Chains A and B, each alone.
Chain A
């Protein structure tokens, strides 16, 4: 196990390359690519296919042997003396039959096990590739992609590709063997009867393929409708106070009824499609059997055929029935793999917009000076809409810069450019003279700490959340960070303290507590540049004050950027930049800006006790 673990020790990019290598040539269809991936497990896939060939051969022997056995019993009736010989023959046939059955079982086991194993190994690699890709894709990609869709690709589409080998490829081999060789054997024994026995195959195969494809299409539709229903229920329960407040239960029941009805109608239709198909398939199978019985029976009576041969025809049909019905499933598996594969590979083939440059080197932080030089920026999704224009400023170690401005003025965007969540469209950002695009992402992001406005907490203990960026951290350091963020006392008040699980499935924290936790998390990183992106909005002013004083010693060692709309959060900054429409329109200390009497002053008047003058009068 341990050697296994080290063997696997993460070569993330290598596993990505493995999957990508299967994608040579865009011209090759997706199915080829999946097939090639499957054969990257050469032993297992050969075992699976080899075993399929053997197992189906043994299966084909069984009706023959049964027929022979029946014929042996008939011999005695004609030749009186052959009794002992017939007995021996019966015994031999029985043993052969037993042997064939046992071997068929064993080889079917090998076939099924290895074809599943190939699928699971493929699934494992694909999962890793998917995970890695998703982790690495830049913010602009995640902005444009609904997380639910991404989960669908990573779970369902991956499943569709994973199942391809066993449900499509191996099944195809099996069916080809059974139907192909079976047909040959039947027809070579008796052309007419053989054709009759096989007459149900094309009909059933066609019906089941058509039906499965229709079921698949309606299944997707049904999922769509069910997700509407889910949304209706979820919003109702989440917003139950609004519903009750507006006495809207009836309206909500109507919404539920409509969504539910649309799903149930389709569900009924699907039952109809499925049932019509299975019963028609069964009927056609038995009809063919009836024909064989009739024609075969006639032949037996005419002495043209033995009862044993007739028996083997009938058994053969029973054996063939299941695989033929599965033709539809196989067709469906091919269809599923190709659509799922298309989506999955689209994700895996995506270019990562923000990655290390060719000669990227470690960022060397010496003085810790951050500079914006004439920075322009527009989001890749809306290139025409310039968000930042000509932003230039410099911040030295120990300085605190406040950034304020109306909503949409580009404050947060500016903050997101420093750790290269997005790349500038013009100008450059440097840290100690090095363009951040020439530094490795790893070294850059370790030098820049960002506290997000709405920070994501992971479902794990408070301790692990704080140490997220430094999972080797010692307890003492975690507690110190938590103290500085004014979180420590709250945590100690919890029954399980730092071991308390928070996040989506844990104890839910208030907005202010979440923000304090994410501040502590960022403090653990000891970055050269620390950015607070409107990250104290939900913290009351008093606590914020205390965080600020605790932060003083941190701030002395680094550049601190505070983006906020509450002036009290940034009044104390060494310099305040007032932004409007992506430009810095005013800049200076609090006092300077007040004296300037511009926009900052106007905002100040608006925020600090509006109308106070009336009262004091």
Chain B
């Protein structure tokens, strides 16, 4: 039985059935692509970005209109030249010369207008694109972290890119569609003016096209979207194969995956062929209508020319107009989809732009002086990400200048929240947080940030050189300072071993370094920052013992002469601290140095006596037990 299973473990059965649990790629839940065609609120918001360029837009519209006028004028000039200049027997040099001169003027205006129009529209659309993006990006720098916490980076990126781009497309096409509308009405008007009856007859083709397109559009759009979707599915599957290639190979899934991918690729092929049919089916219809309109002009118009009821030039002009006739209709129907897309994007953009900025400098905020004493104090602090469920309940403690305090407690006890509050990432709901004796709400965020160096549990490095990453906080730090700091924390050696040394480029998020090494670099960064207060969240993940040793040594160096607040996980760190604060369920339950707390025989001593090298190693059930008995005593 087991044997049999082994042999056909991963393959597709003879009958072509696919394994029930196998998929490749994932089906992304697409966001709404099309919105309402017109939403005045969104138009207003977009207009605020366009407004600074409104003079350019006015000029562009003027240019579009004069461009269109010239397009209309040219067949008329030809008509004039034919009817008044070239009729045999009544040839008039004067008329021809004049026609040519007018023609020349027209094409020069045409040239200028087209240049001006495209230049202005293209330029403004690019500018607005970057303005919107900048506004969003800088807004995101200020919105509260609680909002950022619950929003995926990927989603924000698709706002900053996809949605902003579709606004740009909208801007470009909307000015041009002014021209399209003008051209359409212009042609209708000129035709009717030249010859009302013939004009009316020819224009019969227009509603036919409109109706056909009306039927065609929803179906065609469905097929285009299906093609688009199968395309992104197939592409997603390819990307997955690339990222997961090691897992695929080690589990021998190549054959099954190939088959499943084939299904997707083939679906992609089919939908694209259908979409191609829909896209092309309009071609013979438009061509036939054009042919029909021209045939009508020739038969009806021609016989009237024969009867001398119509000038031949008018007929020629008609023939020219008919050839231009259907272009504006085509682009206007496309513009419809662009509009809908833009409204949906605009909706999402305004949502981001409207996220309130909770934390702002008070109007009379003070600058925290670098000479402040470096003390940190929590006075009866109440805080919760959701105000109904406080994470910190009336917590009070003071860290004296130069002291190192370890914050200890089980997951969810409120340690990280304390850390965030010192930096005013969030606003307290009760009590106050004082840094250097000032309520953090009375200080400018910038000056507060300069006096607090923070090392996060997951060290985040930016793409760029090691050098730039270390001086991230202090961009004017010299090379000597940087190297000095790296040496102090013990990062110098491995940095020198990296290709390029300090100028070596760190991959995305420092991917080419181990967690421990990244942590050391972030230590060096904090050291260069040379802030009065150091707030540090120790890494919990297992770091190999060698790097671990380096980190412990570096920590001692880092804390020299600074006020330190460490969310500690490792006993070695905890024991070194001047004072230990034990938090549980958002309440401070004990504080003192190691010896005192051990004598206390409360939660700390319980945890400590469990004999784990790190509090994070304690299994949940054991921990629960310790916590409950700790509470009982």
Contacts and interface: CB of A to CB of B under 8 A. Distances in A.
Interface in A415-457: 419, 421, 441-442, 445-446, 448-450, 452, 455-456
A242 B433 CA distance: 21
Interface string B83-111: 00110100101001001100110011011
Given A105-B286, A109-B281, A242-B460, A130 B81 contact: no
Contacts of B5: 470, 472
A271 B123 CA distance: 7
Contacts of A448: 250
A135 B258 contact: yes
Contacts of A263: 130
A41 to B, nearest CB: 12
Interface stretch (A91-99, A330-338, A383-391, A590-598): A91-99
Contacts of A542: 617-622
B277 A113 contact: yes
A112 B259 CA distance: 30
Nearest to B319: A66
Most buried by B among A93, A98, A537: A98
Given A134-B238, A301-B93, A525 B251 contact: yes
B247 A456 contact: yes
Interface in A248-264: 248-253, 256-257, 260, 263-264
Contacts of A77: 88, 308
Contacts of A72: 302
B81 to A, nearest CB: 6
Interface string B283-313: 1111110111011101100110110100010
Interface string A53-93: 00000000000001001101110110000010011001101
Given A460-B23, A469-B251, A565-B544, A246 B454 contact: yes
Given A246-B472, A248-B473, A419-B250, A237 B276 contact: no
Contact of B242 (A147, A452, A464, A538): A147
A241 interface: yes
B498 to A, nearest CB: 13
A468 B246 CA distance: 13
Contacts of A565: 542, 544-545
Interface in A108-139: 108-109, 112-113, 116-117, 120-121, 123-124, 127-128, 130-132, 134-137, 139
B529 A246 contact: yes
Given A268-B123, A301-B86, A301-B91, A311 B449 contact: no
B415 to A, nearest CB: 15
Interface in B100-138: 100, 103-104, 107-108, 110-111, 114-115, 118-119, 122-123, 126-127, 130, 133-134, 137-138
Interface in A1-29: 2, 5-6, 8-10, 12
A105 B288 contact: yes
Given A8-B262, A245-B456, A301-B93, A610 B572 contact: yes
B16 A248 contact: no
A231 B107 CA distance: 46
A459 interface: yes
B249 A467 contact: no
B96 A134 contact: no
Interface stretch (B372-380, B394-402, B608-616): B608-616
Interface size class of A (residues with CB under 8 A): 35 or more
Interface stretch (A171-179, A191-199, A282-290, A392-400): A282-290
Interface in B164-219: none
A541 B619 contact: yes
Contact of B238 (A151, A240, A247, A545): A151
B593 interface: no
A464 B22 contact: yes
Nearest to B93: A301
Interface stretch (A31-39, A182-190, A212-220, A292-300): A292-300
A121 B283 contact: no
A234 interface: yes
A469 B114 contact: no
B389 interface: no
Interface in A263-309: 263-264, 267-268, 271-272, 274-276, 278-280, 282-283, 286-287, 289-290, 293-294, 297-298, 300-301, 303, 307
B82 interface: yes
Given A97-B294, A260-B133, A297-B96, A472 B280 contact: no
B33 interface: no
Nearest to B172: A271
Contact of A239 (B12, B241, B460, B572): B460
B298 A90 contact: yes
B26 A5 contact: no
A114 B4 CA distance: 47
A406 interface: yes
Contacts of A276: 115
A452 B247 contact: yes
B244 interface: yes
Interface stretch (A202-210, A369-377, A570-578, A600-608): A600-608
Contact of A286 (B110, B242, B296, B305): B110
A246 B302 contact: no
Contacts of A551: none
B355 interface: no
Interface in A460-479: 460, 463-464, 467-473
A97 B290 CA distance: 10
Contacts of B454: 241-242, 245-246
A181 interface: no
B287 A150 contact: no
B496 interface: no
A169 interface: no
Contacts of A93: 298
Given A101-B288, A455-B247, A471-B10, A73 B312 contact: yes
Contacts of A251: 472, 475
B463 A235 contact: yes
A233 interface: yes
A101 B157 contact: no
Given A97-B294, A105-B287, A244-B423, A73 B305 contact: yes
A234 B157 contact: yes
A285 B6 CA distance: 72
A538 B244 CA distance: 20
Interface stretch (B266-274, B434-442, B559-567): B266-274
B477 interface: no
Contacts of A86: 306
Contacts of B279: 112
B342 to A, nearest CB: 19
A611 interface: yes
A446 B252 CA distance: 7
A588 interface: no
A511 interface: yes
A234 B542 contact: no
B378 to A, nearest CB: 19
A241 to B, nearest CB: 6
A112 B252 CA distance: 42
Nearest to A149: B242
A87 B288 contact: no
A181 B533 CA distance: 82
Contact of A275 (B122, B263, B285, B546): B122
B21 A473 contact: yes
Most buried by A among B85, B103, B140, B262: B262
Contact of A127 (B148, B157, B234, B245): B234
16 contacts: A10-B259, A90-B303, A94-B298, A117-B276, A130-B238, A151-B242, A237-B148, A244-B449, A253-B138, A275-B115, A278-B118, A294-B96, A301-B93, A472-B5, A511-B541, A538-B541
Given A252-B141, A283-B107, 8 more contacts: A76-B306, A87-B306, A155-B235, A236-B141, A274-B118, A301-B86, A456-B246, A467-B22
6 nearest CB pairs, A to B: A247-B449, A542-B619, A101-B291, A105-B287, A105-B284, A471-B19
